[in-house]
Chain A
Amino acid sequence: MKLIVAACAALILCAGAAEARTWRIRPGPNAQAQLQTALIEARPGDQVRLAAGRFALTQGLSLAVDRVTIRGEGQDRSILDFSRQNQGAEGLLVTANRVTLRDFAVENARGDAIKARDCDQITFTGIRAEWTRGPHRDNGAYGLYPVNCSNVLIENSIARGASDAGIYVGQSRHIIVRNSLAEANVAGIEIENSFFADVYGNTATRNTAGILVFDLPGVPQMGGHSVRVYENRVFANNTANFAPPGNIVGQVPAGMGVMVMANRNVHVFENEIGEHGTVNIAIVAYPNTIADATYNPLPRDVIIRANRFGRSGFAPAGPFAALAQAGAPLTDIIWDGAETYTAAGRPRTEPVRITMRDNEAQGRAVTFLSLGVPVAGGDMAEAQPNTNAPALSTAREPERVRVQQD
Chain B
Amino acid sequence: MRALALALLLLLSASGAVARVSADAPVNQALVLSGRPAATLTEYRFFRDARAREPNAGVTPYDLNTALFSDDAVKFRYVYTPPGAAARYNADGVFEFPVGAVLIKTFAYPADARAPNDNIRFLETRLLIRQRNGWAAYPYVWNEEGDEARYTPIGADIPVERVNEAGARIALTWRAPNRNQCAGCHMSAGALAPIGPAARNLNRDYPYADGGANQLTRWVERGHLDAAPAGAPRAAEAFNPASGSLEARARAYLDVNCAHCHNPAGPAHTSGLDLRSANADATSLGIFKRPIAAGRASGDMAYSIDPGHPERSILLHRMESLDPGVMMPELGRQSVDARGLALIREWISEMNAPAPGVPPPH
Binding site for B on A (CB under 8 A): 33, 36-37, 39-41, 60, 62-64, 85-89, 93, 95, 109-112, 117-118, 137-142, 145, 147-148, 163-164, 168, 170-171, 216, 218-220, 243-248, 287-289, 291-292, 344-345, 377
Give the CA-CA distance A344 to B183 in the complex, in Å: 36
Give the CA-CA distance A218 to B358 in the complex, in Å: 13
- Judge whether A137 and B296 touch: CB under 8 Å: yes
**What 9 additional pairs, Cβ within 8 angstroms, besides A111-B297, A171-B270?**
A40-B154, A110-B325, A118-B190, A137-B296, A138-B296, A218-B289, A245-B298, A291-B357, A377-B362
* A-B interface, 10 closest residue pairs, ranked by CB to CB distance from nearest: A141-B295, A111-B325, A110-B325, A246-B298, A62-B180, A289-B362, A219-B272, A89-B330, A291-B283, A110-B324
Name the CB-closest residue of A to B360: A289
Give the CA-CA distance A93 to B299 in the complex, in Å: 23
Given contacts A148-B270, A377-B362, whether A89 and B291 have CB atoms under 8 Å apart is: no
Give the CA-CA distance A292 to B289 in the complex, in Å: 11
- Judge whether B180 and A141 touch: CB under 8 Å: no
- Judge whether B302 and A245 touch: CB under 8 Å: yes
Contacts of B153 in A (CB 8 A): 40-41
- Judge whether B295 and A164 touch: CB under 8 Å: yes
Contacts of A139 in B (CB 8 A): 296
Contacts of B190 in A (CB 8 A): 118
Contacts of B233 in A (CB 8 A): none
- Judge whether B267 and A246 touch: CB under 8 Å: no
User: What DSSP secondary structure best describes chain A's contact surface?
Assistant: loop
- Judge whether B270 and A64 touch: CB under 8 Å: no
Give the CA-CA distance A235 to B255 in the complex, in Å: 47
Can you list 23 pairs linking A and B with CB atoms under 8 Å apart?
A37-B154, A40-B153, A40-B154, A40-B178, A41-B154, A95-B187, A110-B325, A117-B267, A138-B296, A139-B296, A140-B295, A142-B295, A164-B293, A170-B292, A170-B293, A244-B296, A244-B299, A246-B290, A246-B294, A246-B300, A246-B314, A291-B282, A377-B362
* CB-contact partner of B359 in A89, A138, A291, under 8 A: A291
The reply on B309 being an interface residue by CB < 8 A is no
B158 to chain A, nearest CB (A): 14
B230 to chain A, nearest CB (A): 37
The reply on B164 being an interface residue by CB < 8 A is no
Contacts of B362 in A (CB 8 A): 287-289, 377
Name the CB-closest residue of A to B267: A117
- Judge whether B180 and A248 touch: CB under 8 Å: no
Give the CA-CA distance A93 to B184 in the complex, in Å: 10
- Judge whether A289 and B359 touch: CB under 8 Å: yes
Contacts of B154 in A (CB 8 A): 33, 36-37, 40-41
Give the CA-CA distance A218 to B289 in the complex, in Å: 7
- Judge whether B294 and A220 touch: CB under 8 Å: no
The reply on B140 being an interface residue by CB < 8 A is no
Name the CB-closest residue of B to A64: B180
Give the CA-CA distance A94 to B296 in the complex, in Å: 21
Query: In residues 288-323 of chain B, which contact A (Cβ within 8 Å)?
Result: 288-303, 314, 323
Give the CA-CA distance A37 to B152 in the complex, in Å: 10
- Judge whether A112 and B324 touch: CB under 8 Å: no
The reply on B51 being an interface residue by CB < 8 A is no
A131 to chain B, nearest CB (A): 11
Q: Which of B282, B289, B325, B362 has the most CB of A within 10 A?
A: B325
Query: In residues 187-209 of chain B, which contact A (Cβ within 8 Å)?
Result: 187, 190
Contacts of B359 in A (CB 8 A): 289, 291, 344-345
- Judge whether A288 and B282 touch: CB under 8 Å: no
* CB-contact partner of A247 in B181, B298, B326, under 8 A: B298
- Judge whether A244 and B300 touch: CB under 8 Å: yes
- Judge whether A40 and B179 touch: CB under 8 Å: yes
Give the CA-CA distance A79 to B66 in the complex, in Å: 43
Give the CA-CA distance A218 to B180 in the complex, in Å: 28
The reply on B271 being an interface residue by CB < 8 A is yes
Flag B164-188 by CB within 8 Å of A: 1 or 0 each: 0000000000010011110110010
B180 to chain A, nearest CB (A): 4
Give the CA-CA distance A248 to B291 in the complex, in Å: 8
- Judge whether A89 and B267 touch: CB under 8 Å: no
Give the CA-CA distance A163 to B297 in the complex, in Å: 11
- Judge whether B270 and A147 touch: CB under 8 Å: yes
Give the CA-CA distance A289 to B267 in the complex, in Å: 27
Contacts of A117 in B (CB 8 A): 267, 270
- Judge whether B289 and A111 touch: CB under 8 Å: no
Contacts of A60 in B (CB 8 A): 324
The reply on B110 being an interface residue by CB < 8 A is no
